[in-house]
Amino acid sequence: MKKILTIIIIAGMTIFFACGPSAKEKAEKSRRDSIRIVDSIATVKKCILDSLSKIQVTDYDGNIYNTVVIGDQLWMTTNLKVSHYNNGDPIPYSTGDQWQDVNGGAYSLMTYTNEFVYNGTVVTDSRKVCPKGWHVPTTDELNKLVNFLGGDDKAGNTITKYLNVGNAYSFASNGCLTSGAKWWSASPPHHLGFIGCSAKDYDDTFSRDSRNGFYIRCIKDQ
């Protein structure tokens, strides 16, 4: 009797496992579950980024900036226009005639756009110029932006769908910029230019000269 019972149990287990899902079916279920998890994460991430696009940020002087998500980066929609470092120390103002002789950080105004430009010393100053939680973008972050916008040949056109690059830009008949805008990069200090339809990473002797005056566009810390 015991032997028969054992045989019945073994037979039942064999039938159970034989009728259960095959290895292929298990693998397919696992694949679908993984896709659902990835999709859920992407949905949550999109919701977070969309909500971030609605926030505003205020600099030391009280200027308020709107923000925009581009890819997975959060950018200010306009160039920085603050005249103090984050600790309250003033950034010296310099006119064009004095600019090349400035010792230390300085800012000036573009006469025809009334936008602020800063020298490279401001970019590297430990007192920081972007609002708390924000920073001057690194070369890697700028390259990531350009790549998301379609690469060097297209970024100058595509970026205008998201934000104002600065320099009172206007459009040619092909939708590209007729004037250029140059942003400081922080590592090492040089600049990225949006000119025409393209973007160019200027990393040469001229662009690394801290006496140059370029825009600062802040990006959110991650």
d(CA 166, CA 29): 51
Note the pLDDT tens digit of each residue in 197-208: 677 776 555 556
Looking at the structure, tell me whether residues 173 and 74 fall in a common domain.
Answer: yes
Q: How many domains is the chain built from?
A: 2
Q: What is the mean pLDDT of residues 190-218?
A: 73
Rounded CA gap, 118 and 159, in Å? 22
Spatial separation of the C-alpha atoms in residues 117 and 85, rounded to whole Å:
14
Average pLDDT of span 86-114? 85
pLDDT at 162: 83
Same domain, 66 and 162: yes
State whether 40 and 99 are in the same domain: no
Sorting pLDDT into bands at 50, 70 and 90, what band is 171?
very low
Instruction: Return the top range by mean pLDDT from 66-70, 181-185, 198-202.
Output: 66-70
Pair (70, 160) in one structural domain:
yes
Domain extent, residue 30, equals 2-51
144 and 185 in a common domain: yes
Sign of CA dihedral 187, 165, 99, 134: negative
Residues 40 and 60 in one domain: no
Quote the pTM value: 0.72
Q: Which residues contact 156 (CB under 8 A, 6 or more apart)?
A: 176, 177, 194, 195, 196, 197, 198, 199
Q: Mark whether 82 and 35 lie in a shared domain.
A: no
Would the pLDDT of 95 be above 90?
no
Single-letter residue type at 6: T
